[in-house]
Amino acid sequence: MTALSAQASDINSAAVDLQPVLAAVDAVLGAQPRPVELHEPRFGARERELVLDCIDTNWVSSAGQYVTRFEQMVAKVAGARHAVAIVNGTAALHAALLLEGVKPNDEVLLPAITFVATANAVSHAGAVPHFVDSTWDTLGIDPVALDKHLEAIAVQRDGGWVNRQTGRRLRAVVPVHIFGHPVDMAALGAVAAKYGLVVVEDATESLGSTWNGQGCGTFGHSAVLSFNGNKIVTTGGGGMILTDDDDHARHARHFTSTAKKSHAWAFEHDEVAYNYRLPNINAALGCAQMERLEGMVAAKRELAERYLQAFSAFPWAKIYREPKGAQSNYWLNTLVLDRDYAAERDRLLAALHGHGIRARPLWTPMHMLPMYRDCPRAPLAVAEDMSARCINLPSSPFLAEAGRTNANQR
Ligand SMILES: *Cc1c(COP(=O)(O)O)cnc(C)c1O
């Protein structure tokens, strides 16, 4: 950069007043003590009671009544026939891909815009992540772009589809419901069917979200949830595999519990398997949290509405609104800067942090990370644009209450 252009861009930056953004966020967060974290859990008497019950009864590990209870509560809310509790979301994705028949050297299609765990799980399975573009319609994988890309690179071979550029089999597609906003699963499902791809939903961010009235996590052959500390419901660490397929569920349970055959004392195992089941003590926390889910989704939707209002007349940035036909859990609220203001993103993040607001940028797109730089990919113009000008704002459910208090005071 020449001295002159450096100076010119400084002048441009200085011309944009960031104060109105801070004021709009302040109007939403009210008197909430600073700093305000991006997403925090809340625990109460019920969480304490159920976790203590595990300790008092000695049932803390990977067997116990809370695991079953937690699975039943989650299956019911999501609308899935079966739920299998797993030690975390990444392990659940790993196991789900293996259970769907993903083999070493297969390719698995996924959006470049996702948390790194989605790509890591593909790698853990020995497969190769193949990155696809996203759409502003949902923030998730773009079914139209996926179809166009596969038309260009996929060829039929031995009853399946192969990437003609790499010779590897195209096995599965993993749509991710980004920040709780559902992917258009009808369009995605049609493309997957056309190319014989298994659909494994990464629904880790979307528990409580629905699309056309149907719960996220019930569209693919199987789906995965996460109960990490920053998710809408937490078990400390935890995950879940959802499926409607009875045999698949049975195998998932077996495969994630060291494939031990049920017997009063004998240790018989019938395949190489994983120790991936969720401990009872974590499930107990999950049971207490699930009792709050409905209220938390309502609070998060209320907070989102407040953010939408605060930025509705804003000249150069808007809050992302849920896609048509969707009821999003609004896991994380997203501020989208106008294209001309993308260069302000990092200054704005610094200003927000300086103001005690723990905002963050979108994840670095997967194809820009060193270990995934050489992976196959579609054109990723939207993914790069999205990551350049989106900012996540604090979205804990209890912040809706802070806003209510503030509104009453005004
Ligand atoms: C949280 C998350 C995961 C992984 O879940 P962990 O429980 O943290 O392992 C996977 N994919 C996405 C998109 C996530 O947000």
- pLDDT tens per residue across all 410 residues of the chain: 444 444 445 545 567 999 999 999 999 999 999 999 999 999 999 999 999 999 999 887 777 899 999 999 999 999 999 999 999 999 999 999 999 999 999 999 999 999 999 999 999 999 999 999 999 999 999 999 999 999 999 999 999 999 999 999 999 999 999 999 999 999 999 999 999 999 999 999 999 999 999 999 999 999 999 999 999 999 999 999 999 999 999 999 999 999 999 999 999 999 999 999 999 999 999 999 999 999 999 999 999 999 999 999 999 999 999 999 999 999 999 999 999 999 999 999 999 999 999 999 999 999 999 999 999 999 999 999 999 999 999 999 999 986 665 554 44
201 lines ligand 1 (CB under 6 A): no
- Residue 135 contacts residue 144 (beta carbons within 8 Å): yes
Per-domain residue ranges of the chain: 3-42+293-409, 45-290
Topology of the domain covering 3-42+293-409: Aspartate Aminotransferase, domain 1 (3.90.1150)
395 lines ligand 1 (CB under 6 A): no
202 lines ligand 1 (CB under 6 A): yes
Flag whether the pTM goes above 0.85.
Answer: yes
239 lines ligand 1 (CB under 6 A): yes
Catalytic residue flag (residue 318): no
Atom number of ligand 1 nearest to Cα 90: 9
CA distance 254 to 242: 14
Write down the pLDDT at residue 60: 79
- Kindly list the distances between the CA atom of residue 318 and the CA atoms of 302, 321, 334, 373, in Å, as whole numbers in the listed order: 17, 9, 8, 31
Rg (CA), the chain: 22
- Residue 399 contacts residue 332 (beta carbons within 8 Å): no
Topology of the domain covering 45-290: Aspartate Aminotransferase; domain 2 (3.40.640)
Q: Give the mutation target among 74, 174, 202 for probing the ligand 1 site: most ligand atoms within 8 A of CB.
A: 202
Nearest protein Cα to ligand 1, atom 4: 89
CA of 189 to the centre of ligand 1 (A): 22
CA distance 165 to 11: 46
CA distance 287 to 66: 7
- Residue 283 contacts residue 73 (beta carbons within 8 Å): no
Residue 142, by phi and psi: left (phi above 0), alpha (psi -120 to 50) or beta? Answer: beta
Write down the pLDDT at residue 134: 98
Write down the pLDDT at residue 15: 77
Write down the pLDDT at residue 59: 85
Nearest protein Cα to ligand 1, atom 13: 115
Write down the catalytic residue from 76, 194, 231, 261.
Answer: 231
SS3 content of the chain, % helix, strand, coil (to 5): 45, 20, 40
Write down the pLDDT at residue 29: 96
62 lines ligand 1 (CB under 6 A): no
Write down the pLDDT at residue 177: 98
